[in-house]
Amino acid sequence: MKYFFGLLFLLFTMGSCVEIIDDLYVKSDGSGTFKYTVNLSSSVVKINSILALDSLDGRKVPSISEIQEKLNAYLTKLEKKEGLSNVKLDANYKDFIFKFQCEFTNVQVLQKAIKEIVQEENKNTEIKELDHNWLAWDGTKLVRSIPTMPEKITERMKKEDAEALQKGTYLSISRFDRTIEKYDNPVAKLSGNKLAILIKTNPYSLTQNTELLENTIYLSALKK
């Protein structure tokens, strides 16, 4: 696993029914909170059987302690990034539920911090996905997207893994402190109070088409 997408692929293949929730709250001044949850609780038996192996499809299988060490290392690095605060990770290695959250001074700071850590972990390696900006905020609208998955990851996915991922869910939530006027993604669902918007898909569909989560969200004018 050379970098983040390798770890993401491993999580996908380890979980027969993975639930992922990314939850972004942006205030009018650009600050906010980011939460990211990966729930593999329905796949405990499969995960434990994989963790008992030395390797899988030619790739080393990390131990629980190695996964814990790596996640803690990422957390420590994020805590040191300027503009981030209250960085937390709730990791349940019994049920395999991982909940990350942090506060940020603006979305650019959040994006920059994540990119820097990925690059730091992969020195002397060109990662073209880091050229992609998946968050943009100008005070009136939020643009969200995710980088395209590397082809080498999706190509080596087994048929049974693909079928299992179709049973999972991926929820992308954007929240605000003022109402949403309009949005570009036709499958997005607006909350009753118009302060949040949701896009729901499954992990497999997302590996095939990352554009499913693309959305530009326009907000009401600031009150003077």
Task: Express each pLDDT in 94-139 by its tens digit.
Answer: 998 999 999 999 999 999 998 888 778 777 676 677 777 889 999 9
- Is 50 exceeded by the pLDDT of residue 3? no
Provide φ and ψ at 27, rounded to 5°: -85, 170
Q: Tell me what pLDDT residue 106 has.
A: 95
Cα separation, 215 vs 176, in Å, equals 15
Instruction: Assess if residue 126 is contained within a domain.
Output: yes
Cα-Cα-Cα-Cα torsion 206, 185, 106, 11, nearest 10 degrees, comes to -10
Instruction: Assess if residue 90 is contained within a domain.
Output: yes
* Mean local confidence (pLDDT), 144-153: 67
Tell me the percentage of the chain whose pLDDT exceeds 70: 85
Query: In the chain, how many domains are there?
Result: 1
Lowest mean pLDDT across 13-17, 69-73, 159-163: 13-17
pLDDT classification of 1: cutoffs 50, 70, 90: very low
Instruction: Assess if residue 128 is contained within a domain.
Output: yes
pLDDT classification of 47: cutoffs 50, 70, 90: confident
pLDDT classification of 177: cutoffs 50, 70, 90: very high
- For residues 201 and 213, the answer to whether their CB atoms sit within 8 Å is yes
Instruction: Assess if residue 224 is contained within a domain.
Output: no
Instruction: Assess if residue 197 is contained within a domain.
Output: yes
With H, G, I as helix, E, B as strand and everything else as coil, classify residue 41: helix
Instruction: Assess if residue 172 is contained within a domain.
Output: yes
Q: Which domain holds residue 33?
A: 4-219
